[in-house]
Structure 1
Amino acid sequence: MAIAAVILLFGLAHAAEPTASGEFSSSDFTESDRCKECHAITTVQWEGTMHSNAYVDPFYLKEFHAASEDTDGLVDSFCSRCHTPIGVVAGEIPPADGSQLSEIAKEGVNCDFCHTVSGSDGTGNAPFIVTPGDTKWGPFNDSEASFHESEYLELYTQSEYCGMCHEVRHPVNGLLIDDTYPVWKNSTYSQEDVTCQDCHMTPGITEFEANPGRAGSGAPKRDHISLHSIVGGNAFVTEMLGAEKEKEMAIERLEMAATLDMVSPEIANKGEDVTVEISITNSGAGHNIPTGVSEIRQMWLEVKATDAEGHEIYSAGTTDTSGEIISANTIYNNVLGDSEGNPTLSFWLADRVLSDNRIGPEETVAEEHMFSLPEDAVYPVTVDATLKYRSAPQDLIDHLFGEDVHEVPVIDMVEKSRIIYDPDTPPESRTQPQSESQSTPGFTVFATVAALLIIYVLKKQ
């Protein structure tokens, strides 16, 4: 297609209305198994992800059915438009029980749905325009295929594609529920043209890294093919579904999201009050941490001080046997309120934000912890800080599924340690642990390459 025609098509798509419920039949779409015949690598990457499990996610279904009941079905199409888009445009939902859903609709955000998106009416609440048929849209302007026609659409290279579903506003009162895209839009990542795809569809995790390969069998080899194992930080549902590879990828992503720094005295006398300041920096995410359905996400610092014999001097942010977080200084999330101003974990009942202490892109926050050094403490004293994360409170999962059915994994995102010595310890004997915080994304690779280059030059000389 000529460039002018592509521009015209793109302009017309933006001018059109979002695809309505019941506008198409599910038979107008192609099952992922058919796509797999030519696009095996990308399809296998997609299988097991939260996108492929967007509808069958057990946690989502529990929340969805509760929301449907609480709102007399008001949110049925609203929620389903992102979790089973084919089901919505095919008019198969409502009913909320999924009894009318076709098998392809249960594939969640599947291959053919994504690549028949021919435009959007902006971002937020899934304003996609979908055109099922022989033409598939994508990020390449020179694609050729024998099974279907291929067209380029700039939208596939932009964060606005992701922003269709990763910006959610309450369907009645407009309350911003999921601000992942808007936060990115107002960040330096956006200003520097670092898109969602640069981090979530490349091997680099926190920055763009090329993935050479082919989009499909017989396709030309390209410098970069976007990965379709589009992973966030969900190590809970992936574990529930037995998607171990995706769970490990989610953990790896969480481990790269933040860095810690700690300031503490190197020496302290017994009986003294010790003050430790720990700073948390969102160094690896172009959105808030946590993000998504962040009223149920939990991120917090666990801080412990122990002496040389392992005696506990101080602890904050530990979890008890029921999964409750004990004495954490701060739980990093946002708290929504209902119409009476009471906190609620049910976003569909919310009409206000009561508090929000999530950490924005490149933002640093600090916590102060204080304890007294006991007279019987054995030097040296070690202070450990660990940034923890879990997808949902344990008591919420117990309420939805029953006690002892699912344990929400608590992920150690990053750790930092400092040692406090006896004042009589000679300065030359006081050593501090090397930082467990990961280096700035990309710096380690750069430093390694630079070192190898220097060695090479020296050898040549």
Structure 2
Amino acid sequence: MSKPWLNLLMLLGSVGVGLAGLWLLLETQSGLVQAKEGMPTGPIHFLVHRPAAAEFNISISQVISSGFVRPVQVTHAGDGSNRLFVVEQYGRIRIVNSPVVTPFLDIRGIVRSPEDSGGGSEEGLLSVAFHPNYESNRFFYIYYTNTSGNLVIARYTASSTNPNLADPTSAQPILTIPHPTHSNHNGGQLMFGPLDGYLYIGTGDGGSGGDPDENAQNKNVLLGKMLRIDVNNGSPYAIPPDNPFAGATAGADEIWAIGVRNPWRFSFDRGDSGGGGRGDMYIGDVGQGQWEEISYQAAGTPGGVNFGWDCREGRHNFEPGNCSSGVTLTDPIAEYSHSLGASVTGGYVYRGSLYPALFGYYFYADYGSGRIWSMTKTGSNSWSTPEQEYGPPSSTFSVSAFGEDEQGELYLLDYFGGTIRRLADANGPQPNLSTSTKSASTAHADPGETVTYTIRINNTGGLSNQTAFLTDTIPAGLTYVPGSLVATAGTVDSSQPPLLRWQGPLSPATTITLTYRVTVNAGAAGSFVNQARLTSSGLSPVTLSEAIFAPRPALFTGVEDFFFPGTQPNQLTDTIPDPASCDVCHTAPIYDKWRGSMMAQSGRDPLLWAALAVANSDAGDAGEYCLRCHTPKGWFEGRSHPADGSALQSSDIHAGVTCEICHRMVDPIASTNDQAVNFDDDIRAAITPFLPSGHVGSAMLILDPQDRRRGPFVLTGIPHTAFRTDFLGQSTNAVAESRLCGSCHNVDNPTLSWDGSRYWPNDNGLAAPSFAKGELFPIERTYDEWLNSTYAATGVFAPQFAGAKPNGMVSSCQDCHMRRTTGKAAEDSFNPVNRDCTAAGCLPEHDLAGGNTWVPQILQDPRWRLNSASDSAKLNTTILRAREMLQKAATISVTLTSAGANKIATVRVTNQTGHKLPTGYPEGRRIWLNLRAYDGDNNLIFESGAYNPATGVLTEDPAIKIYEAKQGMSSDLATLLQMPENANQPTFHFVLNNIILKDNRIPPRGFTASALNQRGLAPVDASYAAGQHWDDTAYTLPAETVRVVATLYYQTASKEYIDFLRTKGGVDGMALGTLWDTSKSPPEVMASVAEPPLPYYLPLIFKQK
């Protein structure tokens, strides 16, 4: 072969150009090369080092969105909406309209993917391409493998009424390509050419290895090709007249280029402002066993290019005999060996504006190693040397695809991690829109009222003269007032309500104000979440949300209506320190277990924030009462007003029910063993009015104003002093110890007092006339349940809860919920006592374990604004501990007997806890029995309590047994509140409910007849005898029943409760609904039993038979 580069080297030397100065690598790196000796040679392409001015530092740490399953493409629709569309390989397309992710199209029923039996790892829904005129015609095209493994291109149409949904019935097949033999090498990319508007399709060579069917060089088959079709003409498409084989005898008309192995991802350069580079095509072609390559075709050049496979792999001969003499092959512009990776992922040329140093660079990656490279054109026929920008050991990602947004900013997908990540220059200028806001002129409005929204876009960072785009879709229930959208800068567009748009400059240190008005529609009720989405080239989308509630509440309340006795806000002399200070000394069983507990996470709980929004909408300032328990640091330090929590500091949220809330607490009842008695008496004396005698709860807490701590032991000096008290004791006085827990785990409604015959609203603007037991409507009675049980009276032998306690006895709340173990509570440097569970007592683990397995799970989801993802390991430990507690909380047995023409199965559920089963706030938590009956052929012939995990729906059949508490409004109160539809119906309006409609929860052992008659403890719609701590349920079954399986399930939050919060809980309610859609509070198995007994049985709620 001739070596023209040698002549050039000699020329450079003759004119004194040193290679050390230019560091030019001159090779036949791309260009046209000979397939065999004697074939024509094309132009030479040069590789040079990156231009000196282009210094950047690639970062992919910013997660734009997460929670995707096998994501393989991220793209945009080009319709000005600035939405991102993510293709999930197993058959879904989802929209990212930050922070909300919503479904767009689901074709799982017609796709074969890795999720399916027999599906290959490269099969599935592979890509989507939006028509250049999508904004007007709503056409988009998808590429997938059907259930036969063939490649299908189909056109769909977006809904005419909802731009965020595709019409699943609109499918129009465009092209089906047989792919009969192997499941791999399907290609997968669709893209419209930016210059010609034609649809380009990249197909693989048909699979296996080495192209055994010789498809890539066969011009008569469509596999191993780049195809090009005209979807704007013909039926279902036309052939562009300049396709290389159009109308020819040999060669398929659709072919644009041949000789590709598996062009998994290709792209077109959108070009610079002068059009330079526009339409250049870059192809990431996955190699065989040694080389991965990036191929290239310049815009405006004719079709018919042969990229070489399988004659060559990269720039190296593979099976050269498959290309006849005289065939011109085009080598890649870049390649790398399998020492650096194993599967190339083609990328894009960066044409965004946020990171100027990246402009014009092409980025690509390797799926296997996670390496990312960059290169750029340095002339019409030359590129810079590819430079690795990211890779091991930093890289832990499998980059399945790159993608562009409408502004040309780049993203990449982590296939197994399920995340979209921004490709950014860590050295680039950054905007700061964190102080931008959206507000409404009122939080509550009646139908017919007009509400004004104000959006303030504040950029306190960089991006001089950057153009930003804002979209705001007014939710159903509100109507835009025509002509009301105005802005202090930029341009507005309200021509397509409910969609409002704005675009304008995003200059540094500027504020732009937008306002518009809406009218509340007749009959509107609930919360109406209005979200504005702000995007800019390279900018992480910013979502500004605001909710209004309709109608206005009929119960007019203020902070004074939610008063309870105890230490009040701003009465502490010493503030409450951050709990992290306790971590300095205390060991893992103390701080680490607490950090993962729901006590520590109480201020982050999305159920709290959605319910708080409902409470505030039902009764003004009701949320202040919620914050008293869930963010006590902020409440005591005077930051619980406004009642929506907007004045809380991040430290208040992070602290949850922090260490000092318990360890500075003063027992309302004086104790002779209280070593802090001298000042505790004074503290109690200063509380006016004092706590009611014989009743605790509702966060009626007395805190030491000074930082004087209490516990089970005396501590003097460094690092702090502590006083021993029964209240914070251990195994000395169960009632005193549990009374501390009861301070929050009895909950009354302070706005509803007993008037002799009913619970009825107090006079507005006044505290309740009495706080004594039974005088206020009882929402939760967990402490009183325990107080009336055998656990409180004498203790119970329950080794399953006793931990390391040698006698197996449990009595106080803490005995069960703070498992006793051995060890030290502080680091050795402080010379702590070794708790041996004998002479020195036990070490209580501070996990405060309950039965909540779902909230610790969703707290790890980065989509939640108050997520605790950094605590994931600790939260996962909490989930396991909660699951363990649930499996100890109840036992079940079943008998199967004959009864005439039927069989009778009787299931007994026995409560092993010290409170009702289940206990707690009646917020959708529930326990139910699932009973399945089978005939002699093992056919399921009866089921009660069937649950659908896909929808979260529990089928309430006639025989179902659900243990739960339900509350509602009496008909007279519903009339007073102008909510007649809720009369005597279960509701989740906890601040308004004044009657108990159902409470069939199983009492703990030891309940007396007196306890069973107390308001708040008495069963409703159920009957239990004194001392009965079990419940029997009889099922009438078909005579052919030979075996039954009974399973007891617990669920943290029901679908009904989540749907209520989704529609009435404002912004956080909508976010909670999105979290539910992903995980649906999966039921937990508490116990399971079969009759006749089975040698083993694993109850799987997800298995339907």
User: Same fold judged by TM-score > 0.5?
Assistant: yes
Please say if residues 313 and 373 of structure 1, whose CA atoms lie closer than 8 Å, have aligned partners that are also in contact: no
Paired residue secondary structure (1:21): coil
Tell me which residue corresponds to 1:392.
1053
1:276 and 2:910 are equivalent in the alignment:
no
1:52 and 2:713 are equivalent in the alignment:
no
In 1, Cα distance between the equivalents of 2:895 and 2:825? 49
In 2, Cα distance between the equivalents of 1:134 and 1:164? 20
1:417 and 2:1090 are equivalent in the alignment:
yes
Please say if residues 627 and 645 of structure 2, whose CA atoms lie closer than 8 Å, have aligned partners that are also in contact: no
Provide the aligned length of Structure 1 versus Structure 2. Answer: 390
Paired residue secondary structure (1:91): coil
Tell me which residue corresponds to 1:364.
1030
Letter in 1 for 2:941: I
Tell me which residue corresponds to 1:342.
985
1:129 and 2:702 are equivalent in the alignment:
yes
Percent identical among aligned pairs is: 31
In 1, Cα distance between the equivalents of 2:906 and 2:781? 29
In 2, Cα distance between the equivalents of 1:145 and 1:366? 57
Return closer, same or farther for 1:101/1:357 CA change in 2, 3 Å cut-off.
Answer: same
In 1, Cα distance between the equivalents of 2:717 and 2:936? 66
The one of 625, 643, 649 aligned to 1:78: 625
| CA-CA distance at 1:86 after TM superposition | 1.2
In 2, Cα distance between the equivalents of 1:145 and 1:190? 35
| CA-CA distance at 1:337 after TM superposition | 1.4
Return closer, same or farther for 1:68/1:232 CA change in 2, 3 Å cut-off.
Answer: same
In 2, Cα distance between the equivalents of 1:156 and 1:178? 23
In 1, Cα distance between the equivalents of 2:923 and 2:607? 15
Please say if residues 273 and 371 of structure 1, whose CA atoms lie closer than 8 Å, have aligned partners that are also in contact: yes
Please say if residues 301 and 388 of structure 1, whose CA atoms lie closer than 8 Å, have aligned partners that are also in contact: yes
The one of 814, 830, 845 aligned to 1:197: 814
Please say if residues 397 and 406 of structure 1, whose CA atoms lie closer than 8 Å, have aligned partners that are also in contact: no
| CA-CA distance at 1:364 after TM superposition | 1.0
Return closer, same or farther for 1:295/1:356 CA change in 2, 3 Å cut-off.
Answer: farther
Please say if residues 628 and 635 of structure 2, whose CA atoms lie closer than 8 Å, have aligned partners that are also in contact: yes
Please say if residues 280 and 365 of structure 1, whose CA atoms lie closer than 8 Å, have aligned partners that are also in contact: yes
Please say if residues 917 and 1001 of structure 2, whose CA atoms lie closer than 8 Å, have aligned partners that are also in contact: yes
Paired residue secondary structure (2:877): helix
The one of 645, 659, 674 aligned to 1:98: 645
The one of 881, 884, 891 aligned to 1:252: 884
1:172 and 2:751 are equivalent in the alignment:
yes
Letter in 2 for 1:113: I
| CA-CA distance at 1:232 after TM superposition | 0.6
Letter in 1 for 2:637: A
In 1, Cα distance between the equivalents of 2:717 and 2:1087? 45
Tell me which residue corresponds to 1:314.
942
| CA-CA distance at 1:406 after TM superposition | 3.9
Letter in 1 for 2:1036: M
Tell me which residue corresponds to 1:153.
725
| CA-CA distance at 1:44 after TM superposition | 0.5
Cα displacement string for residues 5-40 of structure 1 (whole angstroms, at most 9, x for unaligned residues): xxxxxxxxxxxx611123237x71211111100013
Please say if residues 779 and 921 of structure 2, whose CA atoms lie closer than 8 Å, have aligned partners that are also in contact: yes
| CA-CA distance at 1:176 after TM superposition | 1.0
Please say if residues 239 and 247 of structure 1, whose CA atoms lie closer than 8 Å, have aligned partners that are also in contact: yes
1:187 and 2:771 are equivalent in the alignment:
no
Paired residue secondary structure (2:991): helix
Q: Structure 2, unaligned stretches of length 5 or more?
A: 1-564, 669-690, 730-736, 753-775, 796-810, 837-841, 861-874, 972-983, 1006-1028, 1063-1068, 1099-1105
In 1, Cα distance between the equivalents of 2:649 and 2:923? 32
Tell me which residue corresponds to 2:995.
352
In 2, Cα distance between the equivalents of 1:391 and 1:46? 20
In 2, Cα distance between the equivalents of 1:372 and 1:366? 20
Please say if residues 55 and 108 of structure 1, whose CA atoms lie closer than 8 Å, have aligned partners that are also in contact: yes
Tell me which residue corresponds to 1:452.
none
| CA-CA distance at 1:391 after TM superposition | 1.2
| CA-CA distance at 1:434 after TM superposition | 6.4
1:114 and 2:757 are equivalent in the alignment:
no
Paired residue secondary structure (1:164): helix
Tell me which residue corresponds to 2:961.
330
1:299 and 2:927 are equivalent in the alignment:
yes
Letter in 2 for 1:313: I
| CA-CA distance at 1:308 after TM superposition | 4.5
In 1, Cα distance between the equivalents of 2:720 and 2:1078? 45
| CA-CA distance at 1:189 after TM superposition | 0.7
Paired residue secondary structure (1:413): strand
Tell me which residue corresponds to 1:8.
none
The one of 828, 850, 853 aligned to 1:232: 850
In 2, Cα distance between the equivalents of 1:92 and 1:123? 24
Cα displacement string for residues 59-115 of structure 1 (whole angstroms, at most 9, x for unaligned residues): 111111111121111x22321111111111111011133222123321110112221
Q: Structure 1, unaligned stretches of length 5 or more?
A: 1-16, 203-209, 420-431, 438-461
Letter in 2 for 1:402: G
Cα displacement string for residues 293-346 of structure 1 (whole angstroms, at most 9, x for unaligned residues): 135211110000123443211100011342222225221111111142222122
Cα root mean square deviation, aligned:
2.2
Please say if residues 303 and 316 of structure 1, whose CA atoms lie closer than 8 Å, have aligned partners that are also in contact: yes
In 2, Cα distance between the equivalents of 1:83 and 1:154? 25
Instruction: State which structure, 1 or 2, has the greater radius of gyration over its C-alpha atoms.
Output: 2
In 1, Cα distance between the equivalents of 2:970 and 2:659? 39
| CA-CA distance at 1:134 after TM superposition | 3.8
- TM-score normalised by structure 1 residue count: 0.80
Please say if residues 968 and 993 of structure 2, whose CA atoms lie closer than 8 Å, have aligned partners that are also in contact: yes
Return closer, same or farther for 1:436/1:294 CA change in 2, 3 Å cut-off.
Answer: farther
Tell me which residue corresponds to 1:22.
570
In 1, Cα distance between the equivalents of 2:581 and 2:923? 38
In 2, Cα distance between the equivalents of 1:100 and 1:406? 31
